Amino acid sequence: MRRRWATALMVSQGLVIAALAALLWLRAGAQPPAVSAPAMAGSPAPGAQAGADGDGVARSPAVPGGSADGDGTVHLGEAVLQASAVKVAPLQAAAAPRQGEAWGEVLPTLGLADARLRLRQAEADAAQWDQPLARARRESARLEALWQDGGNVARKLVEQAQGEVDQVAQRQEAARAVQAAVRSAVRAEWGEALLLALEQPDGGAVAGVLDGRQRLLLVAAGDAAHATVSVLGAGGPLAVSRLGPATQVTAGGSRPTWYWLAPAGILRSGQRVSMPVGTATHTMGVRVPEAAVVWHAGQPWVYLEEGPGRFRRQAIEAPAALASDWFVAAPLRPGQRVVVQGAQLLLSEESKALIRNENGD
């Protein structure tokens, strides 16, 4: 009987202790330790998993597919590579004529009109002494002849006449020096071609600029006698004709420039213009199939094959249209193997692989 009471007492005490322990666990916000069960055959050991997160949750290994290194390189498994039908082909060498765009501006006509005014004034100032000098020389020669004929005139008058010739000649020489200085200044400011035009009585080649029918352009190109220009923000093209080399440079430029004549039309002083230009030389590069080019972040790219299932995304600079293909001068080289089918798939696989990598982190 005593043994039964003792056993009952021990059980009661054990229940009380267990209840107190559970209460303490609940107040501390922790869960009571679970009773571990023996692992079943084929199940992973506690803490073991494909992702190695350490939370005891088993995960299936990833299905072999694509991965990315984060530097534009994509790896494709053999099964995915065969299923995706990615095709590559070597790049072929190609040549394209050099093409570009020259920039310029519409010059104000006020400076040109002022230059013509200065030239005409200097010419008039020098020319005004032509007749006085001719008269002074005739008078001096007449008096000298009389003196030589027997002294029919006083020597003093002969000397005065010669002095008058010298004075007028000096004034004319000074005026000619000023004229030469003005011509030199205009030549330095506007160039020889415009200087010769401005010295013409009717304005020569720039007559239309002076009367407002034409505009004078300053463009960093002059290989052709005729070309077209477009006005930044105003349209075009407008037919223009070359006038001659210029001594000025375009804003922010350092290349040789030429003067061009254009119909006034929509042109206004200070407007920026662009002119398509080309040369007889060619640039060497490669021909890239249009299907090989993918656009990402506003830039064209191609995928180069670097090994079995390994592709690297390569940016291409300034591609030019060649029929149905693209011409690229750099950095691609003939013989490099480029993806010509499935490039968009590689870009998508690269994006998905990067997302998986980020989520895995």
pLDDT digits (tens, 9 = 90+) for 158-177: 889 899 989 999 998 999 99
pTM: 0.46
pLDDT, position 122: 93
Rounded Cα distance between 32 and 13, Å, is 20
pLDDT, position 114: 92
Which residue's structure tokens are 């394209």?
96
Rounded to 5 degrees, φ, ψ at 282 are: -125, 155
Contact 270, 105 (CB under 8 A): yes
Which residue's structure tokens are 């223009």?
240
CA angle 57, 58, 61 (to 5 degrees): 140
What value does the mean pLDDT take over residues 203-225?
84
Report which of residues 283 and 209 the model is more confident about.
Answer: 209
